[in-house]
Amino acid sequence: MRAFFLSLAVEFCLGFGISLRSMMKIKGLAFVGIPVTDMPRARAFYEGVLGLKVSEEMMSGKWVEYSLGTNTLAIASVGPQWLPSDQGTGAALEVENFRRSGEVAKRSTCPFCGGGV
């Protein structure tokens, strides 16, 4: 499954009349990622309180994924480049053409954070 992480301020993009929908074919939601600063506390909540089961653990435990039906919820404590904020949560989108979609997103005037493109 190839996915890339888009950090798009939708209101910003729409304010400039940008329609990314017409430029790339979104196939589905790959995962929702939630930044955390205290991984043990976050895991105690997601696993202990919500009862979620770990489906994958990466980056020596700094990235933990939980399967929720056909979707994935990820929590991550990866450092100062991605911290919790009042600006919302990130979502990764499945696209039809990974490379082309990444190029389109990079050319847009929307804020973009992508990997592997």
Contacts of 76 (CB under 8 A, 6+ apart): 33, 34, 35, 36, 59, 62, 63, 64, 82
**Confidence tier at 7 by pLDDT (50, 70, 90):** very low
Give the pLDDT band (50/70/90) at residue 101.
confident
Domains and CATH numbers, the chain: 3-107 (3.10.180.10)
The residue with greater pLDDT, 17 or 83, is 83
Provide the pLDDT for residue 91: 67
Residue 37: predicted pLDDT: 93
- Please, which pLDDT band fits residue 34 given cuts at 50, 70 and 90? very high
SS3 content of the chain, % helix, strand, coil (to 5): 30, 30, 40
Mean pLDDT within 18-44? 82
Output the average pLDDT for the chain: 76
For the chain, give the percent of residues with pLDDT over 70: 70
pTM value is: 0.61
> Does 8 score more than 50 pLDDT?
no
Q: In this predicted structure, what is the pLDDT of residue 63?
A: 97
Cα distances (angstroms) measured from residue 95 to each of 42, 56, 66, 84, 85: 30, 22, 21, 26, 27
What is the token pair recorded at 24? Answer: 């790339």
The answer to whether the beta carbons of residues 104 and 24 sit under 8 Å apart is yes
Q: In this model, does residue 10 exceed pLDDT 70?
A: no
